[in-house]
Amino acid sequence: MSDLRPDLAIIAGHVPRGAKVLDVGCGDGELMAELRRSAQVDARGIELDARNVSAAVARGLSVVQGDADTDLANYPDHAFDYAILSQTLQTARAPDRVLDELLRIGRRAFVSFPNFAYWRVRLSLLWRGRMPVTAALPVSWYETENIHQLTVDDFRAFVAERGIGVEQAWFLNGDRHTSAAAANFRAEHAVFLLRR
Amino acid sequence: MTLATMSIPSEDQRFGLARRVTLPRPLPLDGGGVLTPVEIGYETYGTLNADGSNAILITHALTGDQHVASVHPITGKPGWWTRMVGPGRPIDPARHFIVCANVIGSCMGSSGPATIDPATGTPWAMRFPVITLRDMVRAQAMLLDHLGVGTLQAVIGGSMGGMQVLEWAATFPDRVRSVVVIASAARHSAQNIAFHEVGRQAIMADPNWQGGCYYGTGDTPAAGLAVARMAAHITYLSEAGLTEKFGRRLQARDAKSFGFDADFQVESYLRHQGISFVERFDANSYLYITRAMDYFDLAEEHGGRLANAFQGTRTRFCVVSFDTDWLYPTAESRMIVHALNAAGAAVSFVELSSPFGHDAFLLDVPELNRVVDGFIRADES
């Protein structure tokens, strides 16, 4: 588990044994494999990239090549205990609709994203006047898949407006936790556990 | 062939290459009535393990047969899926008990229009009943009863084989733990039916077809069947593949002939495909099997909603499509996947990249083997 990305490790640590999980944007199935191994979770995945899908299926995982923006509609309501959207919200064409679908399909949803108000990001914009390239945002503006950048406070306001409940939230600076109060400035990543 | 020597010699005459059996019961048909007797030509590779958990059924495509990994008795060519089935392959006789049966309606040992109707002592010809893919699958289930196979570890097939796989999952959900559907669809589209109709009309327009009663006359509708094959063969390839392989290159000449010889390489290639096909395939079988495919619409069999076909299933699904396959394009696979998601089934799906069009499932696509191998092994731990 220590090899998991910190936000995935948090999610993995909070999915109960035997739960039914949909990982939207599951990559090569790293989190799914860990959930299956450590907690006998019934994990399903959706992933856009064909090579990642092949890799995930080749390790015996149930992963469907598809798009979070278009391929969630066919899943029945509350088909899963948890829907997971890790580092994918900011890449969606319509993040609001994806989140609605997530909370329709899953009884609860984990959402993790890079915080665009992290102080290093702010510094880069303020002093250098350049789009930031950091550990959490590793590529240049023209290469990035992140078309809907957001901050911790943006997300808090967004779920509040929509009446979505936050059951728990974790804020990370590297692999270290940071407080909720200073999160919008100090957190590089955020993980929210949501419930409609 | 090494496979024959690899499989453990068995006294049991049910197992091995080039087997044939007359099933003990008549087969009730979707179109009404029964088929009797039901003869099945089939092959097995490997050994059924003690708890019977390692049986894998391979379902073949329109013009395929049971010689999945053994030399074809007519053409002398290697089995049609030796890339997928064989020692060290994803489906391996060292690990699996592999069954491949000729579909009913075909002409390689299973009951079809060319086999003898015992009631008359002559070939069935067009008196053979029109069958469906579900009829084919029910016949396969009866064969497995005969072989002592209860639950299958997997059913795997491409193209029409993939349609049979879907029928397996829908008709016998408790008898199959996992299925692999490659380059296939849950129904035949108008375009699919249209291409098949061209082929059928080519056969029936051949005077040698004689209303289907050409057996024993010394003439067969070879020209019509060859044209049917030529038209169909185009649908198995991609435009880019044809362009790369042939372009506009001329066949063994420096200039156009201003006549109707096969000036172009692609013409010569298609003619060869047509001529070599008629040596190994019966024209009436081509009519019956294409009809069965055209009738196929899995949703229609389940109240018009594809997800109903898989409701409550515990079978694991793996669906694979190819980006250059325009016969059964990725959109058809996605329809299957969406229905499986709606039914809550465990499903994997990937669109693989290949230049080969529909035929990719038979050709060298290493990624396909990797996906199938991983999917199959997930059930074996």
B159 tagged catalytic = yes
Return the closest-CA partner of residue B370 out of A53, A55, A52, A33: A55
Report pLDDT digits (tens) over B325-369: 999 999 999 999 999 999 999 999 999 999 999 999 999 999 999
The answer to whether residue B381 scores a pLDDT higher than 70 is no
Region A23-48 average pLDDT: 95
Strand partners, B20: B41
CB contact under 8 A, A66 and B353: no
CB contact under 8 A, B341 and A58: no
| Dihedral sign from CA coordinates of B201, B205, B209, B210 | positive
Residue B32, SS3?
Answer: coil
Region A68-72 average pLDDT: 91
Strand partners, B178: B154, B316
The reported pLDDT for the residue numbered A134 is 86
In a domain, A104, yes or no: yes
Instruction: Quote the percentage of chain B above a pLDDT of 70.
Output: 97
The reported pLDDT for the residue numbered A100 is 96
B265 is written with which tokens? 């390489």
CB contact under 8 A, B349 and A59: no
Confidence of residue A176 (pLDDT cuts 50, 70, 90): very high
Q: Which residues, at least 6 apart from A188, have a Cβ–Cβ distance to it below 8 Å?
A: A114, A115, A118, A120, A134, A135, A136, A172, A173, A174
B72 tagged catalytic = no
Residue B61 corresponds to which amino acid?
Answer: A
Confidence of residue A2 (pLDDT cuts 50, 70, 90): low
In a domain, A126, yes or no: no
In a domain, A135, yes or no: no
A44 contacts in chain B (CB < 8 Å)? 346-347
Instruction: Quote the percentage of chain B above a pLDDT of 90.
Output: 96
B310 is written with which tokens? 């898989």
The reported pLDDT for the residue numbered B8 is 53
Could you tell me the CATH superfamily of domain B2-187+297-377?
Alpha/Beta hydrolase fold, catalytic domain (3.40.50.1820)
| Dihedral sign from CA coordinates of B306, B309, B314, B319 | negative
Report pLDDT digits (tens) over B245-279: 999 999 999 999 999 999 999 999 999 999 999 99
What's the CATH class of domain B192-290?
mainly alpha
How many domains does chain A divide into?
Answer: 1
CB contact under 8 A, A71 and B338: yes
B33 is written with which tokens? 């009535």
The answer to whether residue A1 scores a pLDDT higher than 50 is no
Region B41-59 average pLDDT: 97
| Dihedral sign from CA coordinates of B38, B44, B49, B50 | positive
A9 is written with which tokens? 């490790």
Average pLDDT over chain A reads 94
The answer to whether residue A30 scores a pLDDT higher than 90 is yes
Average pLDDT over chain B reads 95
The reported pLDDT for the residue numbered B144 is 98
B67 tagged catalytic = no
Residue B378 corresponds to which amino acid?
Answer: A
Residue B352, SS3?
Answer: strand
A53 contacts in chain B (CB < 8 Å)? 348-350
Q: Could you tell me if B347 lies within 8 Å of chain A, comparing CB atoms?
A: yes
Provide the residue range defining the domain that includes A37: 6-115+149-195
* Given B60, B96, B188, B358, the catalytic residue: B358
Are the CB atoms for B138 and B27 separated by under 8 Å?
yes
> What is the Cα–Cα distance from B154 to A58, expressed in whole angstroms?
16
Using CA coordinates, name the residue in chain B closest to A58. Answer: B374
Q: What is the end-to-end Cα distance of chain A in Å, rounded?
A: 29
Q: Could you tell me if A80 lies within 8 Å of chain B, comparing CB atoms?
A: no
The answer to whether residue B11 scores a pLDDT higher than 90 is no
Q: What is the 3-state secondary structure (H, E, C) of chain A?
A: CCCCCHHHHHHHHHCCCCCEEEEECCCCCHHHHHHHHHHCCEEEEEECCHHHHHHHHHCCCEEEECCCCCCCCCCCCCCEEEEEEECCHHHCCCHHHHHHHHHHHEEEEEEEEECCCCHHHHHHHHHHCCCCCCCCCCCCCCCCCCCCCCCHHHHHHHHHHCCCEEEEEEEEECCEECCCCCHHHHCCEEEEEEEC
Q: Which of B344, B348, B351 lies closest to A79 in CB terms?
A: B344
Instruction: Quote the percentage of chain A above a pLDDT of 90.
Output: 90
Confidence of residue B206 (pLDDT cuts 50, 70, 90): very high
Query: CATH 3.40.50.1820 spans which residues of chain B?
Result: 2-187+297-377
Query: CATH 1.10.1740.110 spans which residues of chain B?
Result: 192-290
Report pLDDT digits (tens) over A120-175: 999 999 999 999 888 888 899 999 999 999 999 999 999 999 999 999 999 999 88
The CATH number assigned to the domain holding A183 equals 3.40.50.150
> How many beta-carbon contacts under 8 Å exist across A and B?
65
The reported pLDDT for the residue numbered A175 is 87
- DSSP H helices in B148-238: 160-171, 190-205, 222-236
Report pLDDT digits (tens) over B56-69: 999 999 999 999 99
Region B75-88 average pLDDT: 97
The answer to whether residue A42 scores a pLDDT higher than 80 is yes
The reported pLDDT for the residue numbered A135 is 85
B339 contacts in chain A (CB < 8 Å)? 74
Pairing of strands B316-322, B346-352: parallel
> What is the Cα–Cα distance from A162 to B347, expressed in whole angstroms?
32
Q: Which residues, at least 6 apart from B370, have a Cβ–Cβ distance to it below 8 Å?
A: A54, A58
Q: What is the ipTM of this complex?
A: 0.90
Report pLDDT digits (tens) over B95-142: 999 999 999 999 999 999 999 999 999 999 999 999 999 999 999 999
> What is the Cα–Cα distance from B221 to A174, expressed in whole angstroms?
74
Confidence of residue B1 (pLDDT cuts 50, 70, 90): very low
Confidence of residue B53 (pLDDT cuts 50, 70, 90): very high
CB contact under 8 A, A57 and B318: yes
